[in-house]
Amino acid sequence: MTEPLPLAAEPECERHCGPAGSDRRHFLFAAGATLVGLTIPGLGVAQAKVAAYPRKKVGLLSKLKKGEAVEFRYPWDHANCNTVLLKLGQEAAGGVGPDKDVVAFNGLCPHMGWDIPAKKFFAVPGIAGPCPGHWTTFDLTRYGMVVSGHATQGLPQVLLELDGDDIFATGVLGLIFGFHDNKAEPKE
Ligand code: FES
Protein backbone atom coordinates (compact mmCIF):
# COMPACT_ATOMS: atom_id res chain seq x y z
CA MET A 1 0.00 0.00 0.00
CA THR A 2 1.30 3.36 -0.96
CA GLU A 3 1.74 6.04 1.69
CA PRO A 4 -0.29 9.24 0.91
CA LEU A 5 1.88 12.11 -0.14
CA PRO A 6 1.98 14.99 2.40
CA LEU A 7 -0.13 18.03 1.45
CA ALA A 8 1.87 20.92 0.17
CA ALA A 9 2.26 23.55 2.85
CA GLU A 10 0.48 26.87 2.18
CA PRO A 11 3.04 29.43 1.07
CA GLU A 12 4.04 31.54 3.99
CA CYS A 13 3.51 35.26 3.80
CA GLU A 14 6.74 37.11 3.65
CA ARG A 15 5.54 39.53 6.33
CA HIS A 16 4.18 36.74 8.60
CA CYS A 17 0.62 37.85 8.11
CA GLY A 18 -1.14 34.52 7.61
CA PRO A 19 -2.38 32.72 4.51
CA ALA A 20 -2.17 34.48 1.17
CA GLY A 21 -4.91 37.14 0.75
CA SER A 22 -5.97 37.27 4.40
CA ASP A 23 -4.24 40.57 5.06
CA ARG A 24 -6.10 42.13 2.09
CA ARG A 25 -9.44 40.88 3.44
CA HIS A 26 -8.59 42.22 6.88
CA PHE A 27 -7.69 45.58 5.39
CA LEU A 28 -11.01 45.87 3.45
CA PHE A 29 -13.02 44.83 6.49
CA ALA A 30 -11.26 47.30 8.73
CA ALA A 31 -11.63 50.10 6.17
CA GLY A 32 -15.36 49.40 5.83
CA ALA A 33 -15.86 49.44 9.58
CA THR A 34 -14.04 52.76 9.81
CA LEU A 35 -16.23 54.29 7.08
CA VAL A 36 -19.43 53.19 8.85
CA GLY A 37 -18.12 54.63 12.07
CA LEU A 38 -17.38 57.99 10.45
CA THR A 39 -20.50 58.20 8.33
CA ILE A 40 -23.31 57.39 10.75
CA PRO A 41 -22.44 59.99 13.38
CA GLY A 42 -22.07 62.62 10.61
CA LEU A 43 -25.53 61.84 9.25
CA GLY A 44 -26.98 61.89 12.73
CA VAL A 45 -25.70 65.44 13.34
CA ALA A 46 -26.94 66.65 9.94
CA GLN A 47 -30.44 65.32 10.60
CA ALA A 48 -30.57 66.82 14.08
CA LYS A 49 -29.75 70.29 12.67
CA VAL A 50 -32.71 70.37 10.27
CA ALA A 51 -35.21 68.41 12.33
CA ALA A 52 -37.16 71.15 14.06
CA TYR A 53 -37.76 74.85 14.67
CA PRO A 54 -36.65 76.26 18.01
CA ARG A 55 -39.29 76.63 20.74
CA LYS A 56 -38.98 80.22 21.95
CA LYS A 57 -40.96 82.04 24.62
CA VAL A 58 -42.27 85.27 23.08
CA GLY A 59 -44.77 86.73 25.53
CA LEU A 60 -47.36 86.36 28.26
CA LEU A 61 -51.02 85.95 27.43
CA SER A 62 -52.08 88.03 30.45
CA LYS A 63 -50.01 91.01 29.23
CA LEU A 64 -51.49 91.20 25.73
CA LYS A 65 -54.00 93.91 24.98
CA LYS A 66 -56.26 93.78 21.96
CA GLY A 67 -54.67 95.61 19.05
CA GLU A 68 -51.31 96.28 20.77
CA ALA A 69 -48.55 94.64 18.75
CA VAL A 70 -45.57 92.96 20.42
CA GLU A 71 -42.46 92.51 18.27
CA PHE A 72 -39.85 89.76 18.43
CA ARG A 73 -37.51 87.90 16.11
CA TYR A 74 -38.09 84.29 15.08
CA PRO A 75 -36.71 81.77 14.23
CA TRP A 76 -33.37 83.63 14.06
CA ASP A 77 -32.08 86.89 15.55
CA HIS A 78 -32.02 88.43 12.06
CA ALA A 79 -33.70 91.49 10.51
CA ASN A 80 -35.74 89.31 8.12
CA CYS A 81 -37.22 87.51 11.12
CA ASN A 82 -39.05 90.52 12.59
CA THR A 83 -42.36 89.14 13.81
CA VAL A 84 -45.52 90.79 15.07
CA LEU A 85 -47.60 89.16 17.84
CA LEU A 86 -51.13 90.48 18.06
CA LYS A 87 -54.35 89.82 19.99
CA LEU A 88 -57.07 90.35 17.42
CA GLY A 89 -60.14 90.10 19.63
CA GLN A 90 -61.71 87.80 17.04
CA GLU A 91 -61.14 84.13 16.26
CA ALA A 92 -58.38 83.53 13.72
CA ALA A 93 -56.98 80.52 11.89
CA GLY A 94 -54.00 79.30 13.92
CA GLY A 95 -54.97 81.56 16.82
CA VAL A 96 -54.19 80.51 20.42
CA GLY A 97 -55.73 81.45 23.75
CA PRO A 98 -59.25 80.91 25.08
CA ASP A 99 -60.71 82.95 22.19
CA LYS A 100 -58.23 81.63 19.57
CA ASP A 101 -57.47 85.23 18.73
CA VAL A 102 -53.71 85.54 19.37
CA VAL A 103 -51.61 85.27 16.21
CA ALA A 104 -48.12 86.14 14.99
CA PHE A 105 -46.80 86.94 11.53
CA ASN A 106 -43.44 87.65 9.95
CA GLY A 107 -43.29 91.36 9.13
CA LEU A 108 -41.58 91.20 5.71
CA CYS A 109 -43.81 91.35 2.66
CA PRO A 110 -43.35 88.17 0.59
CA HIS A 111 -43.61 90.20 -2.66
CA MET A 112 -40.32 92.14 -2.58
CA GLY A 113 -39.41 92.18 1.09
CA TRP A 114 -40.59 95.60 2.17
CA ASP A 115 -41.01 95.88 5.90
CA ILE A 116 -44.62 96.14 7.05
CA PRO A 117 -44.40 98.10 10.29
CA ALA A 118 -46.15 96.80 13.42
CA LYS A 119 -48.44 99.85 13.43
CA LYS A 120 -49.89 98.56 10.15
CA PHE A 121 -51.16 95.37 11.80
CA PHE A 122 -54.80 96.07 12.65
CA ALA A 123 -56.83 93.91 15.04
CA VAL A 124 -59.95 95.34 13.45
CA PRO A 125 -60.66 94.34 10.76
CA GLY A 126 -57.80 91.80 11.13
CA ILE A 127 -55.64 93.08 8.29
CA ALA A 128 -51.93 93.82 7.83
CA GLY A 129 -50.99 96.54 5.38
CA PRO A 130 -51.17 98.05 2.96
CA CYS A 131 -47.51 97.17 2.42
CA PRO A 132 -45.61 100.42 1.74
CA GLY A 133 -43.97 98.79 -1.32
CA HIS A 134 -46.87 98.04 -3.64
CA TRP A 135 -49.95 98.14 -1.45
CA THR A 136 -50.67 94.49 -0.76
CA THR A 137 -52.94 93.75 2.22
CA PHE A 138 -53.06 90.46 4.13
CA ASP A 139 -55.84 88.80 6.14
CA LEU A 140 -54.60 88.03 9.66
CA THR A 141 -57.63 85.86 10.44
CA ARG A 142 -56.98 83.50 7.49
CA TYR A 143 -53.32 82.44 7.70
CA GLY A 144 -52.13 85.78 6.29
CA MET A 145 -53.60 85.23 2.84
CA VAL A 146 -53.46 88.04 0.29
CA VAL A 147 -56.57 90.23 0.22
CA SER A 148 -55.42 92.50 -2.61
CA GLY A 149 -52.21 93.72 -4.20
CA HIS A 150 -49.12 92.43 -5.98
CA ALA A 151 -47.98 89.69 -3.59
CA THR A 152 -48.79 86.15 -4.73
CA GLN A 153 -48.00 84.50 -1.38
CA GLY A 154 -49.49 85.06 2.04
CA LEU A 155 -47.64 86.60 4.95
CA PRO A 156 -45.71 83.81 6.75
CA GLN A 157 -47.55 82.89 9.94
CA VAL A 158 -45.50 82.07 13.03
CA LEU A 159 -47.02 79.09 14.84
CA LEU A 160 -47.80 79.62 18.51
CA GLU A 161 -48.39 77.35 21.47
CA LEU A 162 -49.69 78.21 24.91
CA ASP A 163 -48.29 76.70 28.11
CA GLY A 164 -50.18 78.24 31.01
CA ASP A 165 -49.68 81.98 30.56
CA ASP A 166 -46.54 81.58 28.44
CA ILE A 167 -46.72 81.98 24.67
CA PHE A 168 -44.15 80.06 22.63
CA ALA A 169 -43.24 80.35 18.95
CA THR A 170 -42.73 76.87 17.51
CA GLY A 171 -42.55 77.14 13.71
CA VAL A 172 -43.31 79.17 10.57
CA LEU A 173 -45.90 78.51 7.86
CA GLY A 174 -44.48 79.84 4.59
CA LEU A 175 -41.03 80.89 3.44
CA ILE A 176 -39.60 84.07 4.97
CA PHE A 177 -38.56 86.63 2.34
CA GLY A 178 -34.85 86.37 1.43
CA PHE A 179 -34.43 82.85 2.84
CA HIS A 180 -34.11 79.61 0.90
CA ASP A 181 -34.92 77.62 4.05
CA ASN A 182 -36.31 79.12 7.27
CA LYS A 183 -34.40 76.55 9.33
CA ALA A 184 -30.99 77.25 7.77
CA GLU A 185 -29.11 79.79 9.89
CA PRO A 186 -28.60 82.97 7.83
CA LYS A 187 -24.94 83.87 7.12
CA GLU A 188 -25.38 87.63 7.50
S1 FES B 1 -43.11 94.63 -1.44
FE2 FES B 1 -45.06 94.50 -0.51
S3 FES B 1 -46.43 94.60 -2.16
FE4 FES B 1 -44.48 94.71 -3.08
Q: Which residue has the higher pLDDT, 20 or 130?
A: 130
User: Using one digit for the tens of pLDDT, what is the confidence trace for 40-81?
Assistant: 454 444 444 445 899 999 999 999 999 999 999 999 999 999
Q: What pLDDT score does 188 carry? A: 78
Atom of ligand 1 at shortest range from CA of 132: 2
What order of strands is seen across the sheet that includes strand 137-139? 121-122, 127-128, 137-139, 145-148
75: preceding bond cis by omega (within 30 degrees): yes
Answer yes or no: is the C-beta of 146 below 6 A from any ligand 1 atom.
Answer: no
Measured from the Cα of 136, ligand 1's closest atom is 3
- Return phi, psi of residue 59, to 5°: 170, 180
Quick one: average pLDDT of 28-51?
A: 43
pLDDT > 70? residue 17: no
In whole angstroms, give the CA distance from residue 181 to residue 177: 10
List active site positions. 111, 134
| 109 Cβ below 6 A of ligand 1 | yes
With a cut of 70, say whether residue 3 has pLDDT above it.
no
**Cα of 137 to ligand 1 centre, how many Å?**
9
pLDDT attached to residue 51: 55
Nearest CA to ligand 1 atom 3: 134
Q: What are the φ and ψ backbone dihedral angles of 61, each rounded to 5 degrees?
A: -60, -40
Containing 49, the helix (H) or strand (E) segment is helix 22-50
Calculate the alpha carbon distances from 121 to 78, 129, 150 in Å.
20, 7, 18
149 alpha carbon – ligand 1 mean position (Å): 8
Phi, psi of 128 (to 5 degrees): -110, 135
Q: What confidence tens digit (pLDDT) does each residue in 94-129 have?
A: 999 999 999 999 999 999 999 999 999 999 999 999
